Structure formats: C-alpha cells, structure tokens
Amino acid sequence: MTVQEILTVFTRILRDLLLNDSIVLTMETRREDIPNWDSFNYINFIVAVEIEFGVKFKVADIESFENVGAIVTEMTKALA
C-alpha cells in the first residue's frame, strides 16, 4: 500500500468516526487541526485503524505519534 492509499483510508475512517466528510488528512495533519479530534476519539481512531488493517500498534508508538504522517509511516513498516 502506498502512503497516499493509507492516507485515503485514514481519511475515510476519521470522516466516519467524526461524521464529518470535509476532513482531509495529510502527512502533516495534527490532532488539534481537526475539530473534535480529542483524546477519546484519538483512541477510537487508533482502534478503528487497527481493526481495518488487522494490526496492533505498540503503546510506545501510540504515545509518541506527533502527526498523521508518523502513524502512516509506522503503518507502512507493518505492511511491508
């Protein structure tokens, strides 16, 4: 899967999660850039991504993701 394809899936998941179809995620997007993407919905997003891709992030990774790009990068490693 390419970075762009992963970003597209992430965008769809977050749109569904927050019921907001205007969301567009980029590698640089941070949580505070998206309305209502609070810590509760951050965990919800991580869970939804894990279910979608059938993988699990390490707790250390989840704590240290600085932006969407960091999650995408970790995902490309897992899917490689």
How far is CA 29 from each of CA 17, 32, 33, 54, 80, rounded to the nearest angstrom? 16, 8, 6, 23, 23
Spatial distance between the Cα atoms of 79 and 19, rounded to a whole number of angstroms:
27
Closest C-alpha among 74, 77, 20, 22 to residue 46: 74
Nearer to another protein, 4 or 77 (CB): 77
Part in contact with another protein (CB under 8 A); list of ranges 3-11, 26-34, 59-67 = 59-67
Convert residues 19-38 into a mask of x (bound to another protein by CB under 8 A) and - (unbound). x-x-----------------
Residue 68 near residue 59 (C-beta atoms within 8 A): no
Q: Minimum distance between the CB of residue 16 and another protein, rounded to whole angstroms?
A: 5
Residues that bind another protein (CB under 8 A): 13, 16-19, 21, 40, 43-44, 47-48, 50-52, 54-59, 61-63, 74-75, 77-78
